[in-house]
Chains A and B, each alone.
Chain A
């Protein structure tokens, strides 16, 4: 595997504390006053020129949120979050709505260049010719707003709607109104309710009937501003027979204080539709002493609403000080399928509590969960998942495999699955293992001249291969490198 060699070289050149995306962009921004009350919600809504119904929706969420308390069941230790000490809206100061890349602040473009995110379509097209890569349309979200969306024209031709959710509220209110909050209700949980009240931007995707989206869609999230929370909301609708593959990436500058990220992602797959959602989450994880880092509290849920629909989640979680996220599938339609492939890596003082829910409601539904957790340093890595079959979900089928790998004797790996079968024709299988990298394997590699770190990287890449192969190709290479970097400093 040539990539492994490359990975190893990359690991070598980096210090333990080095977070590659830790730089900060100096850019003037427009912020809401600090703190959260009804006026903040109104401020955000007004900034976005939102219709009355959406403001009401937000306010209802906010009122509800005030009566809720933070959930405490996850295996994570959280420094108390002062919700009044945050900025809930921050946007780069630019002229309203850039029409083309030429109008976008060059600082911003530089930022994305540094991050390796191609926003210039020409360059990307050139790239296609050279490397034979497929095209990817990107929606770039900077702090609270969407900066630019590429390949608009080409997508329009196919009938695909892809852009920021604020635009969608303006241009396609009927779609937003119909689907927003229909998968993750306003009252779902503390963080989702907070998001409903203050969400600032995010991506909106609609794939019309029978359309196979001509390219991969991608959103790139970046938190830049100090003390801001990022609350984005993504809504993807695949109409009957449609297909879309969507990628999501995230980074943030290196800062000493913890920053809050509470996103909501809703997927709706109608009859015969398929949505593939991939995430490479690389928020700033904090330094080696556990200072700083992003608190990542995300609610992601997909609804296989129509018969024969399919939703597939793939995630590579390497960043964030705390990850609290359970991408789930509601298998409502008959013969619908849900998949969850996850690699969760924790190093240093990171805490991960992640997993999935597969709720089988329709007949002949099936789901598959492959979760690989790797814990190093003094981190804690928990898989928490639920598989349930409703009384009427005859022939529900699930296979779950969650493996954990421990590197070092100060970390912890935990597995908490809930498997609930209320139907006799349900067939559920669950297996989980926890072990360390075996000495024999390392010895074998070392004997062949690999260094200790190279050997670990090799074994780890083998361990996560089942999941990596479900990532789109460009992401897979990136993820592989990321994994090696995340584990940097964990050996010896």
Chain B
């Protein structure tokens, strides 16, 4: 079992190396890209012997890389215009179609005072320090998703909220894939929330069903002291897609951070959240609901790193698994020696509806400070027979009774969303998933 295994390079690895290696290099990010690509060529795609990817063997799940997407033409833009999600939340929309910034579907006019939004290319031209900032918010060790995203770094958006600015209108970044051919799409979003600023970011991913496209997006968040940032993500990719994403955050003293992710899309998805408590007395909540059917596979991996004292973190994840789906939750809370008085709580609950559904939970605690309160819990189970009986006894049909119970199960996580309009829209999407569910 401990014998050395020499890995052959897979087709996908070779294709990535070739496709990303031949991208035209542009100025300041050339070094960043070259470094990331050489890391990838050396270490490759993760497999089940890589501890962090134990339950999501990307080498097996991603045999081939889809060709890089072309710039969207008029028909792609027209298709994207019809297909976005979360249209009615009163947000300022910024849209990427097949990975490219679509100015015609983005609203950059009349920006509130203190808010600046620019494409990655423009921001790089203006701010020579940006590549360093981006590289500063990287995962603590090699991650293939981040390496590939950086090696393909080209399109993206930089949102800068100045110190003290209070931006009440949510900013909605939409990643839309169109067409009928499998493509590879990359995206990068960088949000800088200044001191005492406040903002709400929404990120959504959608695309056509029955197309095996591949997306890779990285959202980097720099939350300054006393800032307040809300992030809501909706992953509603097409049913054959492979979705790889990361949300990398670092928070400053006394800041407040909330994030929520709804996952219903993609055949294979992996969302990784490395979040660093880089100041004192930070309060953060990271939550999510994952609703899967057919043969979907969704992996949610968190690493909450408390480096300084007084932090409070709350993680709540609900996973509903129908049919032959597979859910993965890996959550690590690290409390470093200086992070005394940390209060961390992590909960992952899974509801197994399908007989062949599978849930793999790995909640971890890694604690080096003594004056802390940390706990994690993980549960796995089916619908409660007694509750079902209670509802059925009152004349409620089976499907409705199940829906009620399932909704109350994931509803607890969705309620973590602070913004009412967004919360309602997310609940609606989850309700739609429930309505489409077939009862055996």
Chain A interface residues toward B at CB < 8 A:
67-71, 73, 187-190, 391, 404, 406-436
Contact = CB atoms under 8 A, between A and B. Distances in A.
A416 B370 CA distance: 18
Contacts of A406: 367, 369-370, 372
B361 interface: yes
A406 B368 CA distance: 9
Contacts of A420: 358-361
Contacts of B376: 415, 430-432
Given A404-B367, A414-B367, A424-B356, 20 more contacts: A68-B1, A68-B2, A406-B367, A406-B369, A408-B370, A412-B368, A413-B365, A416-B362, A418-B360, A423-B355, A424-B321, A424-B382, A428-B361, A428-B378, A432-B363, A432-B377, A433-B374, A433-B375, A434-B365, A434-B375
Interface stretch (B121-129, B255-263, B346-354, B419-427): B346-354
A425 B382 contact: yes
A69 B376 CA distance: 34
A409 B371 CA distance: 8
A71 B51 CA distance: 14
B119 to A, nearest CB: 42
B125 to A, nearest CB: 46
Please classify the interface of chain B as helix (H, G, I), strand (E, B), loop, or mixed, using the class held by over half of its residues: strand
Contacts of B337: 409-410
A436 B340 CA distance: 11
Contact of B372 (A68, A188, A434): A434
Nearest to B332: A416
B234 interface: no
Interface in B1-53: 1-4, 51
Contacts of B359: 419-421
A411 B356 CA distance: 42
B360 A424 contact: no
Nearest to B368: A412
Given A68-B2, A70-B2, A409-B370, A432 B365 contact: yes
Interface residues of B, number: 40
A187 B370 contact: no
Given A69-B2, A414-B367, A424-B382, A431 B358 contact: no
A64 to B, nearest CB: 10
A427 B358 CA distance: 12
Nearest to A430: B378
A424 B1 contact: no
A428 B380 contact: yes
A436 B370 contact: yes
Interface string B211-226: 0000000000000000
B366 A419 contact: no
Contacts of B360: 418-421
Interface string B373-390: 111111111100000000
B173 interface: no
B206 to A, nearest CB: 29
B360 to A, nearest CB: 5
A9 to B, nearest CB: 27
A259 to B, nearest CB: 22
A433 B345 CA distance: 9
A407 B352 contact: no
B375 A417 contact: no
A419 B380 contact: yes
A415 B367 CA distance: 9
A446 B4 CA distance: 56
B353 A424 contact: yes
B25 to A, nearest CB: 38
Given A421-B359, A424-B354, A409 B369 contact: yes
A430 to B, nearest CB: 4
Nearest to B347: A431
29 contacts: A68-B1, A68-B3, A69-B3, A71-B2, A406-B372, A407-B370, A409-B340, A411-B368, A414-B365, A419-B359, A421-B359, A423-B352, A424-B321, A424-B382, A425-B352, A427-B382, A428-B378, A428-B381, A429-B378, A429-B379, A430-B363, A430-B379, A431-B375, A431-B378, A432-B363, A432-B377, A434-B373, A434-B375, A436-B370
